[in-house]
Amino acid sequence: MKPGGEACVRMPAEWEPHEATWLAYPHLSSDWPGKLSAVRWAMVEFVRKLQAHETVHLLVRDAPEAKRAASMMRRGGADPDLLEVHLCPTDRSWLRDSGPTFVVRDNTLGAVCWRFNGWGRYSNWQLDARVGQFIARACGAAIVEPAVKGRAIRMEGGAIESNGLGTLMTTEECLLGRGGRARNPGLKRDDLEAVLSETLGATNILWLGHGIAGDDTSAHIDTLARFVGPRAVATIVQHDRRDDNHRPLRDNLARLRGMRNQAGCQLEVVELPMPQRLVFDGDRLPASYANFYIGNGSVLVPTFNDPNDKIAIRALEACFPERAVCGIHCVDVAVGQGALHCLAQQQPKIPRQETPADSRNRR
């Protein structure tokens, strides 16, 4: 408890033990024109790798889709019998953003359900706006709906990154951006920091600047920089001065090198390369090695048939020596403007509370 009896809340780090990982079966062909089948096979591989260490929950739109998904899982080496399947209509499969942000409040599970509106870019988001509460109810989590002055907070899980100890990372472009796609017009930095403190237990908020070219989320942190330890951050860099990403990533790197965690310790910064420019139908894709996902026993890294794939994997192996660091091919997934981390939402494991009977049995 906090001084005064107020309940403590904390957003666990992704490397802390998971109860499960939540995913949604890809189905929107307009997000992946000509690529949907390949994206589904990438999802099968994602599930196969995760199942070795944790439960996987899969949202499907209906019973026929559940049957199709089970068939693909079986053919691809994943075990459909180990999947926890839920019938839940969705617009898209990016559960990092439509799903809840899980927190722990005095040893109970909470689910922060932000007001989702399709990143302010798409008209088909109404089904996804219900996903957070569906998942929260399915796992028995207490629902939290953040609001300021009676206004629900528009945000997504990909916009925030936690080290589990009170330090949170986000970006100014995403949460403080102005104009037609501003998420919360009229709210200032102090307002948003108060929300992050109250709902996620943030005591130290680190603000990076702008995101990479092609990112339709307006600079989600999970394409830019990720905590890989209580005081360590892996961030993408672009040394080619001719590339559009050079200046914003140079600025983010400089900021990180001057930042400290909640204990006042200077951050250890691990540099990840950018893959070479990836284009589909004339548009640059936001391909980034920072969009890796930390599972219970593995770190799953998006790869892009690029010479830098191996460099990124080696850098993350040094950060996670006790986990298997594996690549999953994501060129086709990136056509939909995301990768592995965008697809997944971890449900933290709540430590089991000891009962009087447990204590007696140990005597």
Q: Would you please indicate which residues are annotated as catalytic (active-site) residues?
A: 342
What distance in Å separates the CA atoms of residue 9 and residue 91, rounded to the nearest whole number?
Answer: 31
- Cα four-point dihedral sign 139, 295, 262, 202: negative
What distance in Å separates the CA atoms of residue 56 and residue 161, rounded to the nearest whole number?
Answer: 22
Return all residues near 138 (Cβ < 8 A) that are at least 6 apart.
57, 86
How many CB atoms are located within 10 Å of the residue 243 CB? 15
How many CB atoms are located within 10 Å of the residue 204 CB? 17
What distance in Å separates the CA atoms of residue 251 and residue 344, rounded to the nearest whole number?
Answer: 28
Q: Do the Cβ atoms of 125 and 88 come closer than 8 Å?
A: no
Phi, then psi, of 191 in degrees rounded to 5 = -60, -45
Phi, then psi, of 225 in degrees rounded to 5 = -150, 140
Query: What are the beta bridge partners of residue 86?
Result: 59
What distance in Å separates the CA atoms of residue 180 and residue 259, rounded to the nearest whole number?
Answer: 31
Side-chain-facing half-sphere of 286: CA atoms under 13 Å = 24
Q: Which residue bears the tokens 């944790």?
A: 54
| Structure-block tokens of residue 53 | 């260490």
What is the side-by-side strand order in the sheet with 298-303? 293-294, 298-303, 324-329
Could you tell me where the beta strands, DSSP code E, fall in 189-252? 204-208, 225-229, 232-237
